[in-house]
A and B are shown apart, each in its own frame.
Chain A
Amino acid sequence: MKKIFKNKAAFISIVFIAIVVFIAVFAPFIAPYDPASQDLSNRLAAPSAVHLLGTDDLGRDVFSRMVYGARVSMSVGFFAAFLTVLIGAVLGMLSGYFGGATDSIIMRFTDIVLCFPTFFLILLVIAFFEPNIYSVMIVIGLTSWTGLARIVRAEVLSIREREFVLASKMLAVSKPRLFFVHILPNIISPIIVYAAIAVGGAILIESGLSFLGLGVQPPMSSWGQILMQGKDYIYVAWWLSVFPGMVILLTVLSFNLIGEALRDILDPKET
């Protein structure tokens, strides 16, 4: 744990994420305006001391909308990543541990899901169910687990035959105990790394969906959605497109850098 703070990039990333999470949690106290209150006399105002990041086409304060958007983006990111990790890790472990028919079925299913462009599947399901924050979270989680399932399976396969597993089997350790106490701790590092990167990935997908109008719906705001509204005013109001994009980029970058730092720390053989 100490090591991660020594890695400069990772340290800055953690601080950045902490700030964004803080802003998301305390959004009502931080946002200077109501994110939904319109002021049509003050449309598309440039960034100034009154409106830090300017206003949008309905005169809403962009900074306040971004602050509330952090809530949506972060919760989608964390929840979708949680679901991704849950599905991927469980399927991977089942597949690797039991082998045989279980393994074949799970891995063929993974292959099939991998054949579809993920974004197409997501678009499809979202468009037909109601697009809202919950369906977005769930669908992203349901479609992003394939890589992790393969990684976990490979890890379990390599650990299954090791002496300490055989030894615990001979000592008649119960199956759940063997699984959770002896096998899981040995495969946890790739899972943690994948989780960190998955949060960033989910935020990217959510912003893409919102950009296409299929993410969270107004009056709720997300970073991708602000961008979507901004793209029509790109000639007259650049601040509507530039800032949300920068924030998405920095947030996703932070998660990726944390993932990379964790990979270095948890798995010293990699360079």
Chain B
Amino acid sequence: MFQYLVKRLLYSIPIIIGITVLTFGVMYFTPGKPIDTMTDFNPQITSEAKERLVKLYGLDKPVHVQYWNWLKRVAVFDFGKSFKDGRPASEKIIERLPATILLNVLSIILMLVIAVPVGIYSAVRKYSLFDRVLTVVVFVCFSAPVFWVALMLMIVFGLWLGWFPISGLTSFDFSELSFFGKTWDLASHLVLPVIVSTLGSFAVLSRYIRSGMLDVLKQDYIKTAYSKGLSERQVIFNHALKNALLPLITIIGLSIPGLIGGSFIIETVFSYPGMGRLGFDAIMARDYPVIMGIGVISAFLTLLGNIIADVLYAVADPRIRYR
């Protein structure tokens, strides 16, 4: 096990380097210089002052030197100062991170709570009415534009029914509320964003579980279990379930970038104060330090999620370790 863990960690080193190279590369090769936002709208700026700015940010040095200098700072978690308000980019990102992680963790939990029973049931009762209806639901969820679903839910539950607030994470009077009031306020703000971010991934996940379960049900040991005279319930819950749910670990790991990517739209639509919204605003304002910070941090989070998934898989399935 220890050997596997070491191997897995060593294997991620080139990927970490690659993540930083790609982030830096995308920013370096896109048109426009980071200081453009400061110089373009300042009619009084002299070419001399411009040069000084270029020197200050090291933009006159060759690419690899610029990359190396940036990397050295990234290593100590310093992405530079935001062009917008001069605060350290890492600080701005970190204060938004909990909201995004909260949203995504809740979505993953909700996704599992719905997808697992639904996937298993439709595998066990393959081609039943439930399975067929579900297949349709899954395809519709999978094909619907996230932001449009968000809009429709906002109209129905936010405006017509008035059940949930439609934007932000807290109400204006949040700080004056009691502990329970605060919890309730947070929860009601989270309902719609969590539902929207769950919809698409729940659909995909339940399909995976269905086909995983179908594969397992075809195995010989399931036939053996049935021929021993065990009830269907026992066979499914004691014999099939564990094996059918194994791939789930990897799928959840793989769905992290999708969830974080989805946060960009969902957080923007719901004015949710998370990293995605910060990222979108930063992109629109060409706030290079924040953009690069978010790129690196979300890629690292994904990588970390995948490593944890792989290790958990190895813990759950001993066969993997010996490959």
Contacts and interface: CB of A to CB of B under 8 A. Distances in A.
A48 interface: no
A226 to B, nearest CB: 11
Interface in A101-133: 108-109, 111-121, 123-125, 127-129
B105 interface: no
Contacts of A127: 283-284, 286
Interface stretch (B50-58, B139-147, B223-231): B139-147
Interface stretch (B73-81, B254-262, B315-323): B254-262
The DSSP consensus for interface residues of chain A is helix
A124 B26 contact: yes
A124 B147 contact: no
A212 B258 contact: no
A53 B214 CA distance: 45
Nearest to A246: B148
A41 interface: no
Interface bracket on B: 35 or more
B155 A125 contact: no
Contacts of B268: 212
Contact of B265 (A119, A125, A231): A119
Given A208-B147, A241-B148, A116 B298 contact: yes
Interface residues of A, number: 45
A252 interface: yes
A91 to B, nearest CB: 15
Interface in B1-30: 14-15, 18-19, 22, 26, 30
Interface string B119-142: 000000010000000000001101
A119 B262 contact: yes
Contact of B145 (A238, A242, A249, A255): A249
Contacts of A108: 14-15, 18
B211 interface: yes
B142 A256 contact: yes
B30 A129 contact: yes
Contact of A208 (B31, B146, B211): B146
B261 A128 contact: no
Interface string A192-221: 000000001000100110011000000000
A128 B31 contact: yes
Contacts of B262: 117, 119
Given A123-B280, A124-B291, A118 B140 contact: no
A248 interface: yes
A268 to B, nearest CB: 14
Given A118-B257, A227-B147, A238-B155, A128 B32 contact: yes
23 contacts: A108-B18, A112-B15, A115-B15, A115-B19, A115-B257, A116-B257, A116-B302, A117-B258, A121-B26, A124-B30, A124-B291, A127-B286, A128-B31, A208-B147, A208-B265, A227-B145, A234-B151, A244-B148, A245-B148, A249-B140, A249-B145, A256-B142, A271-B211
Closest 7 CB pairs of A and B: A117-B261, A245-B148, A128-B30, A112-B18, A119-B261, A253-B143, A252-B143
